[in-house]
A and B are shown apart, each in its own frame.
Chain A
Amino acid sequence: MSVVFWKELADHFSSRRFMILLILIVFSGLWAAYATGQEIRENTETVPSQYAFLLLLTSSGETLFSLATFLGFFGPLVGITLGFDSISGEYARGTLSRVLSQPIYRDSFINGKFFAGLATVAVLWGSILLLVIGLGTTILGFPPNNEEIWRMLIFTMVGIFYVGFWLALAMLFSLLFQKTVTAALASMAVWLFLSLFVTIVSAGIAGLIVPDATSPEALARRADIENVIDRISPTTLFSESVGILLNPAARVFGFALQSQAEGILPTPLALNQSLNLIWPHITTMFALVAVCFGISYIIFMRAEIRA
């Protein structure tokens, strides 16, 4: 497996496609962090300075979106870019049958490809965070505290699972459709559906189930149904878990009834409490990756490899 892994990793890092992504992500990430950093510096009174670095990631400031939102939007694109031609590309080049007629197990071939993709994502994600920390230290004048570093580390893990899902999905499509373009389009379609249309669909279904939402209870019920359907999408899972993870003060997803919020002290949650909240999200995301990859695995193991 390691042979395939290193070859793929080298391919990723030397490909133009990766360079374009890197430039795009690093620049937009830096811009977002810089803009919010400036804002935090100007309004020191209103900002809880305890978690200034997390704020760098989550506050949108004067820019259109926060860095976390940006990564949530862009992550899938990275995953798809790295995965959509992983199998179909080899097939089109005629290298697949040659590689698979070497004495390696078939699983080491796709494992190598998958983990090389994941490693690439980890490097990308890690380097953005390091840039933000570096830039933040310069702008704010103090380093992040322990808790912030832990939260950022876990944020990276969650991000890798999240992009890993899209990578696994793109790989699955590249296996199902032997044409590279079809695989790319299919992945894009799923991405668009899961990140944009799923909210419309969930609102529609919730409206059907609870047609009359005048009482607070009915409203809450409708919101619950919407939430459950939304959580099919890894995009929702990601943004919800990031919302909790990078904002220690947050303790509920979405909105809460006044009666529920009553008596809650506005103190930040400890890291393990935040983790407790998003644990189901992380597990689900992990499971989605595993399922996607598992399907590719099963198909690939028994596939006929014709030149």
Chain B
Amino acid sequence: MSAVVETSNLSKRYRETLAVNALTLTVQEGEIFGFLGPNGAGKTTTILMLLGLTEPTSGQVAVCGFNPTRESLEVKRRVGYLPENPGFYDDISAKENLLYMARLNRIPEDQARRRTADVLEQVGLADDGRRLVKEYSRGMKQRLGIAEVLVKNPTAIILDEPTLGIDPDGAIRILEIIKNLNRQQGLTVMLSSHQLQQVQEICSRVGIIVKGKLIVQGQMDELGKSILKGRQWNFLLEVRGMADGLERDLQSIAGVDEIEKRPLGWFLRCTSDVRPEVVDTVRRRGLQLLQLRSEDPTLEEIYLKYFREA
């Protein structure tokens, strides 16, 4: 396994703001890498730098072993890129759009025709290839976009928010296509998104970027542990009775870090196992304990937490 995308200390500055801040990230061959972060976190800027569409202020990038700023053609020959909200030439058919891209890639005409038909088939648009793009729905356009990055037969594809603005059904369909491409053709995929729950199933690894900084990268199950080192005790507490003042009491227990009110009870983030003390406190106040459940942090929680801090 070798790295398809490798950046080290990559930064991009726009006048006052640092859009991307010392980003070090690796995407391995054959994986689906989810690049997650809130809007404006620097995802698109990073992707643009990977493709040589904008120049980094400092730091190194290598994509397929090439420098995108100086050898952008080599990179673009190997990597397909689907921008957020991709546009097409509206008044020509989907097929002709794809053929134009194939020609720009210098694929011989007869091969291009075959390839075009193939990729339309792969994204389920085989029957709509002759229609004008302006008749396409948003979801279809997105799938056409995926077809188009496949035309050049890439070794890796970079998709910027591929599920943005698409209904859940359409989004699942697109993710399915991406998963199949990865499984069947061994295509390396890097996709950016702000919707963790949508993409977490298909990603083998994710990186979370907030305010231009990569907070964490790793496999999904490892992420929680690495990010919540030292505070991996989470409990849900539910009691019956008048609970006035209980929150203050709980706060005073050594090891309780944070208390969050939930519709039924409280959510406690702790630095150690404080269950005995919590049970004691509840009993002392004369309340009935309904449940005290350990809750492993889900990635979703980690993600939301960082979003809130951002």
Chain A interface residues toward B at CB < 8 A: 3-4, 7, 92-95, 97-105, 302, 304-307
B104's contact among A94, A104, A302, by CB below 8 Å, is which?
A104
Q: Given that A95-B89, A98-B86, A101-B53 are known contacts, is A306 also in contact with B48, CB under 8 Å in the complex?
A: yes
Check A97–B83 contact: CB distance below 8 A.
yes
Q: Given that A101-B53, A304-B48, A306-B48 are known contacts, is A94 also in contact with B87, CB under 8 Å in the complex?
A: yes
Q: Given that A100-B53, A302-B55, A305-B53 are known contacts, is A95 also in contact with B88, CB under 8 Å in the complex?
A: yes
Q: Closest Cβ of chain B: how far from A14's Cβ, in Å?
A: 9
Check A103–B54 contact: CB distance below 8 A.
no
18 A-B pairs (CB sep. < 8 Å): A3-B100, A4-B104, A94-B86, A95-B89, A98-B86, A98-B145, A101-B83, A102-B101, A102-B104, A102-B152, A103-B74, A103-B105, A104-B76, A104-B104, A304-B55, A306-B53, A306-B54, A307-B84
Check B87–A93 contact: CB distance below 8 A.
yes
Check B53–A97 contact: CB distance below 8 A.
yes
Check A3–B44 contact: CB distance below 8 A.
no
- Contact flags B84-95 to A (C-beta < 8 A → 1, else 0): 111111100000
**Set of chain A residues within 8 Å of B53, measured between Cβ atoms:** 97, 100-101, 304-306
- Alpha-carbon gap, A221 to B84, bound state (A): 61
- Alpha-carbon gap, A248 to B55, bound state (A): 55
Check B160–A307 contact: CB distance below 8 A.
yes
**Set of chain B residues within 8 Å of A92, measured between Cβ atoms:** 87
Q: Which of A4, A92, A101, A103 has the most CB of B within 10 A?
A: A101
**Set of chain B residues within 8 Å of A3, measured between Cβ atoms:** 100, 103-104
Check B76–A94 contact: CB distance below 8 A.
no
B85's contact among A94, A100, A104, by CB below 8 Å, is which?
A94
Q: Closest Cβ of chain B: how far from A291's Cβ, in Å?
A: 25
The closest CB in chain B to the CB of A6 belongs to B103
**Set of chain B residues within 8 Å of A93, measured between Cβ atoms:** 87-90
A102's contact among B55, B105, B145, by CB below 8 Å, is which?
B105
B51 at the interface (CB under 8 A from A): yes
Check B87–A102 contact: CB distance below 8 A.
no
Q: Closest Cβ of chain A: how far from B102's Cβ, in Å?
A: 9
| Apart from A98-B83, A98-B101, A102-B105, 4 more pairs, CB < 8 Å | A93-B89, A93-B90, A95-B88, A102-B152
Number of interface residues of B (CB under 8 A): 31
Q: Closest Cβ of chain A: how far from B142's Cβ, in Å?
A: 12
Chain B interface residues toward A at CB < 8 A: 44, 48, 51, 53-55, 73-74, 76-77, 80-90, 100-101, 103-106, 145, 148, 152, 160
- Alpha-carbon gap, A65 to B55, bound state (A): 52
Q: Closest Cβ of chain B: how far from A240's Cβ, in Å?
A: 41
- Alpha-carbon gap, A304 to B83, bound state (A): 14
Q: Closest Cβ of chain A: how far from B94's Cβ, in Å?
A: 14
- Alpha-carbon gap, A98 to B55, bound state (A): 17
**Set of chain A residues within 8 Å of B85, measured between Cβ atoms:** 94, 307
Check A102–B48 contact: CB distance below 8 A.
no
Q: Closest Cβ of chain A: how far from B222's Cβ, in Å?
A: 32
- Alpha-carbon gap, A101 to B44, bound state (A): 14
**Set of chain B residues within 8 Å of A104, measured between Cβ atoms:** 73, 76, 104
The closest CB in chain B to the CB of A106 belongs to B72
Check A102–B76 contact: CB distance below 8 A.
yes
Q: Closest Cβ of chain A: how far from B285's Cβ, in Å?
A: 57
**Set of chain A residues within 8 Å of B103, measured between Cβ atoms:** 3, 7
- Alpha-carbon gap, A304 to B88, bound state (A): 20
**Set of chain B residues within 8 Å of A94, measured between Cβ atoms:** 83, 85-88
**Set of chain A residues within 8 Å of B73, measured between Cβ atoms:** 103-105
Check A103–B83 contact: CB distance below 8 A.
no
Check B48–A98 contact: CB distance below 8 A.
no
- Alpha-carbon gap, A4 to B73, bound state (A): 16
**Set of chain A residues within 8 Å of B148, measured between Cβ atoms:** 98
The closest CB in chain B to the CB of A94 belongs to B87
A7's contact among B88, B100, B106, B160, by CB below 8 Å, is which?
B100
Check B86–A103 contact: CB distance below 8 A.
no
| 5 residue pairs, one from A and one from B, having the closest CB atoms | A94-B87, A307-B83, A304-B54, A101-B81, A93-B87
The closest CB in chain B to the CB of A11 belongs to B89
Q: Closest Cβ of chain B: how far from A162's Cβ, in Å?
A: 30
- Alpha-carbon gap, A302 to B82, bound state (A): 21
The closest CB in chain B to the CB of A90 belongs to B87
**Set of chain A residues within 8 Å of B82, measured between Cβ atoms:** 98
Q: Given that A3-B103, A97-B53, A306-B44 are known contacts, is A103 also in contact with B87, CB under 8 Å in the complex?
A: no
Q: Which of B55, B73, B89 has the most CB of A within 10 A?
A: B89
**Set of chain B residues within 8 Å of A102, measured between Cβ atoms:** 76, 101, 104-105, 152
- Alpha-carbon gap, A102 to B104, bound state (A): 7
The closest CB in chain A to the CB of B161 belongs to A307
- Alpha-carbon gap, A98 to B100, bound state (A): 11
